[in-house]
Structure 1
Amino acid sequence: MSTSTDMVFCGFWPHAVAEVAGRFAVLPETAEPDQIRTAGRPNPPVVTVVPADLLLDGLTDERSLRDVGLHRDDADERGIGDLIARQIEQADAVLLTGDLDDDWETEQLRVLLRRLAPWAAHPLPGDSLTSVTGSTEPVEATCRGLRGHAVGVHEPLPAHGVSACIFRARRPLHPGRLHDALDDITAGVLRSRGHFWLASRPDLVMIWESAGDLGIGPHSGWLDQLPAEHWDEVDAERRLAAALDWDPYYGDRHHHLSFTGIDLDPVRLHRLLDGCLLTDDELSRGERHWRTLPDPFRRAYPSVAADV
């Protein structure tokens, strides 16, 4: 990679990046923008270049990088869809290149990219990139809500067929009902991300991420479970976000999930997720009972809470 610090271009499609990168640095095609931010080097703006004719196929690609021989090492289990989504979400600017035969479809892709990365700049081809500035600290899209940041946008009315919605709730999700509903929840969703909690594991923050395939796993413990003398060890933004939204019963436990898709039905999606929450009767039985609920996810994450 070049050592230029003016700007860095990123993308899974090297030919598309090469068209616009010119004299600037180019990340390897499987790199994520946050990697350069955590490598101890100067922090130039990162621009992700997306070819219009490959975006939808890329986001829905369920193959792993290992399947195509592009995995970083033996521990690299990323999927192609996940990689492309992260390259878009982590960019300081997202540049759509090329046009589809239909102008309406091209604009649909622009709306989609703005929904996927509302915090990034979205210049048009030919626009100057000199005003793009670099992010100072990486915050994973799945964990943004824990630190009080937006996980996505709530735009349930479609724009060029693209809808986006946010699901937030306090009461825990029933592990069995959620597991049974996963296929219906993710149907028609191009990208979803965020965090949630299960009634059977009230000590764990669980991460949710889908693009092509769905990944669920533990992130950390909830601050409600953390002794007060250890709160200073937690990121200040997370402490502040928790304190501002603290619930006398649930503490900082909550769900914050973002969904984006084409022809997505936000009402149906919310009804599905609402149906996975504990009922009043289940909730009234208390945490000791919740922990005994059959949990199809139990084999996928540890029996003790991860570090906060």
Structure 2
Amino acid sequence: MSTSTDVLLCGFWRHALSEVAGGLDVLPETVEPDESRVSGRSAPAVVTVVPADLLLDGLTDERPLREVGLHRDDRDERGVGDLVARQIEQADAVLLTGELDDEWETGQLRVLLRRLAPWAGHLRPGDALTSVRGRAEPVAAATRGLRGHAVGVHEPVPDHGVSACIFRARRPFHPVRLHDALDRVTEHVLRSRGYFWLASRPDLIMTWESAGGLTLGPHSGWLAGLPDEHWAEVDAERRLAAALDWDPYYDDRHHQLSFTGIDLDPVRIHRTLTRCLLTDDELSRGEQHWRQLPDPFRRAYPASAATEV
């Protein structure tokens, strides 16, 4: 996508965009900011505009885009919540427009946006949009950790009721226990993202995203299973991150999951996910045993759907 302007406006709500456009180019309402970026080339900055009175409704909207007539084609499986979350976290800057009647609630939304996109600038009405600088290369929020970037922030102490936490671990998840715990893990969570691995499929990176609904899926293989002669084909940041964090037993396999929400309990999330990890006894039985574990994810998320490393 090419443009002559240095700043593009992005957002799901057209009326909010029109209020601040001021002659700037506006992306179509279902476009994600990363689609305007081309690796290795200069790219315009993308500012996502979010109206205060619609943010929470948007993040929790489970309707598929096809239900509201905004899907691109039959392959577009995104929901409204997915789109709103990605437009926020992929932005170079986020602009919250409008004020709620309660000043404390408006402050809560500002904290929430900073937790959702800690790497973005955060603007107020009247701030100069032209001062925002864009980045040329997309870095997907769910898999940032594979390249050594944080997938979120660990701020478990509530600020205006908003908490955020990160779960990290090395040993794999037991597929049945994780499957049974998904509803408990996502309770009170407005946005979660990251990646993990299952004992039943130790060669595969699985991505995790929730906003409205939860979406899991195969992403790629771990570098541990990649022949040495193909390492040069892998992104340099990912190679470096893997080398710095390489484990003598697990290699580059690990989990990194970020959770953000209002009134969520970070301790409960951590304890629930920890109970889903393999026990010492299960771990000691080895990889061939793990591969035989019942896997309720296998039918919905076949490994053949994964992209290249």
The CA distance in 2 between the partners of 1:133 and 1:220, in whole Å, is 31
Asked whether the equivalents of residues 43 and 135 of structure 1 are also in contact (C-alpha less than 8 Å), the reply is yes
Deviations 1:95-144 (A, max 9, x none): 00000010000000000000000000001111122321001200110010
- Please report how far the alpha carbon of residue 198 of structure 1 lies from its aligned counterpart in structure 2 after TM superposition: 0.2
The CA distance in 1 between the partners of 2:89 and 2:165, in whole Å, is 16
The CA distance in 2 between the partners of 1:222 and 1:153, in whole Å, is 24
**Which residue in 1 is equivalent to 2:74?**
74
Deviations 1:69-118 (A, max 9, x none): 00011111100000000000000000000000100000000000000000
**Which residue in 2 is equivalent to 1:219?**
219
Q: Match for 1:32: what amino acid?
A: E
3-state SS of 2:202 partner: strand
**Which residue in 2 is equivalent to 1:103?**
103
TM-score (norm 2): 0.97
**Which residue in 1 is equivalent to 2:277?**
277
**Which residue in 2 is equivalent to 1:293?**
293
- Please report how far the alpha carbon of residue 307 of structure 1 lies from its aligned counterpart in structure 2 after TM superposition: 2.4
**Which residue in 1 is equivalent to 2:159?**
159
The CA distance in 2 between the partners of 1:39 and 1:12, in whole Å, is 25
- Please report how far the alpha carbon of residue 6 of structure 1 lies from its aligned counterpart in structure 2 after TM superposition: 2.2
3-state SS of 1:71 partner: coil
Listed as ranges, the matches of 1:117-266 within 5 Å are: 117-266=117-266
Q: Which runs of 4+ in 1 moved over 6 A?
A: none
Deviations 1:213-264 (A, max 9, x none): 0000000000001111110011110000000000000000000000000001
The CA distance in 1 between the partners of 2:54 and 2:38, in whole Å, is 29
Asked whether 1:17 is paired with 2:49, we answer: no
Distance 1:4 1:303, change over 3 A: closer
- Please report how far the alpha carbon of residue 306 of structure 1 lies from its aligned counterpart in structure 2 after TM superposition: 4.7
The CA distance in 2 between the partners of 1:264 and 1:42, in whole Å, is 39
The CA distance in 1 between the partners of 2:229 and 2:41, in whole Å, is 34
Deviations 1:149-169 (A, max 9, x none): 010000000000000000000
The CA distance in 2 between the partners of 1:118 and 1:138, in whole Å, is 16
Give me the CA root mean square deviation. 1.5
- Please report how far the alpha carbon of residue 171 of structure 1 lies from its aligned counterpart in structure 2 after TM superposition: 0.2
Asked whether the equivalents of residues 155 and 164 of structure 2 are also in contact (C-alpha less than 8 Å), the reply is yes
Asked whether 1:58 is paired with 2:58, we answer: yes
**Which residue in 1 is equivalent to 2:93?**
93
The CA distance in 1 between the partners of 2:26 and 2:42, in whole Å, is 15
- Please report how far the alpha carbon of residue 42 of structure 1 lies from its aligned counterpart in structure 2 after TM superposition: 5.2
Asked whether 1:32 is paired with 2:32, we answer: yes
- Please report how far the alpha carbon of residue 303 of structure 1 lies from its aligned counterpart in structure 2 after TM superposition: 4.3
Asked whether the equivalents of residues 10 and 33 of structure 1 are also in contact (C-alpha less than 8 Å), the reply is yes
Q: Match for 1:284: what amino acid?
A: S
- Please report how far the alpha carbon of residue 22 of structure 1 lies from its aligned counterpart in structure 2 after TM superposition: 1.1
The CA distance in 1 between the partners of 2:12 and 2:264, in whole Å, is 26
Runs of at least 5 residues in structure 1 that lack an aligned partner in the other structure: none
